[in-house]
Amino acid sequence: MPQVRILEISEEWAGQRLDNFLVRECKGVPKSHIYKAIRSGQVRVNKGRVKNEYRLELGDVVRIPPMRMPDPDVAPPVPPAVFPVVFEDDYLLVINKPEGVAVHGGSGVSFGVIEQLRAARPEQKLLELGHRLDRDTSGLLIIAKRRRSLVAIHDMFREGQVDKFYQALVEGDWVNSRQHIKAPLLRWLTASGERRVRVDPQGKSAHTIVSLLKRFGSYSLVEAELKTGRTHQIRVHLANEGFAIVGDDKYGSDAVRAQFAQWGFKRMFLHAARLRMRHPITEQWLELEAPLPLACTQIIDTLEKQR
């Protein structure tokens, strides 16, 4: 039977969020059970209650309550997968994530990119997400291969030291060559429990810089640079300006999505195209690019011909 475990945080795990630490320690336990254990106070740090986003410190003592663990001799049913590699060294792996694949399991998804990469690279001691992309967004995704690089990457994102540029096809004729959008964003849940975001004075500050790339009359191709990293930030900022992303099933037009589906385009046109940063360990400059997926280039060709 599962028993209470008391773990002391070593230097290797210092700085990691509590919920991420527990997901690693309690392999196979649903995330919903882990979050419930944190909220109810069954998980304790230094004998006190903490929130799931608490960052562990060296020497912290974590109490993990009894949780039914999977049979350690039974491999998890995660199919290994190989994704296009844009950059790799001893510390980092940067891939071009396809659209429609979650970055991790949870919320009704059994597994995601990170679980499939671990299954495909069993010899790799550590593979952790440096950041996240929406399931329906394609493009550059950073994975850390060492604890040291993971902590550094998280610090860099928190301090705004990573420049991320996305390409999006939006509804409407975008005019300004360059525009700053500064609007606070608030997360909320629909009656069905679906996560959404809206512009709200009570929300967290958010800043997106949008540059025009090409106009197609009723549609425009733009580049969005993230200055902050809020949930659904680009999608909500563009929709709030009246230029929702084509194919966005949360903030876009159903009629536009249906029209593009008739042309064979059945995804959201949002792609993490460029990344600029210093390597977290070697400090060399990295400027990485992921080309637009075929479906996106084909729909641009369609719009070009119509124009």
Residue 17: C-alpha distances to residues 50, 131, 186, 197, 204 (Å)? 11, 13, 22, 23, 20
What's the sign of the alpha-carbon dihedral 164, 165, 167, 172?
positive
Residue 290's CATH number: 3.30.2350.10
> Is 69 a member of any domain?
no
Indicate whether 165 and 297 sit together in one domain: yes
pLDDT confidence band for 131 (50 / 70 / 90): very high
CA distance 242 to 252: 10
pLDDT in tens, 137-195: 999 999 999 999 999 999 999 999 999 999 999 999 999 999 999 999 999 988 777 88
Q: What is the pLDDT of residue 213?
A: 98
Query: What CA dihedral angle connects 200, 246, 163 and 288, to 10 degrees?
Result: 160
Q: What is the pLDDT of residue 125?
A: 86
**Total-model pTM:** 0.76
Query: How many independent structural domains does the chain possess?
Result: 3
Indicate whether 288 and 257 sit together in one domain: yes
Indicate whether 93 and 171 sit together in one domain: no
Indicate whether 177 and 253 sit together in one domain: yes
> Is 70 a member of any domain?
no
pLDDT in tens, 84-130: 999 999 999 999 999 999 998 876 677 899 999 999 999 998 999 99
Query: What CA dihedral angle connects 187, 193, 194 and 200, to 10 degrees?
Result: -20
Indicate whether 145 and 172 sit together in one domain: no
pLDDT in tens, 251-262: 999 999 999 999
Write out the catalytic residue numbers.
134
CA distance 161 to 276: 9
CA distance 21 to 30: 14
Q: Is 55 helix (H, G, I), strand (E, B) or coil?
A: strand
Range of the domain at 59: 5-64
What's the sign of the alpha-carbon dihedral 142, 147, 151, 156?
negative
pLDDT confidence band for 228 (50 / 70 / 90): very high
> Is 17 a member of any domain?
yes
Indicate whether 53 and 126 sit together in one domain: no
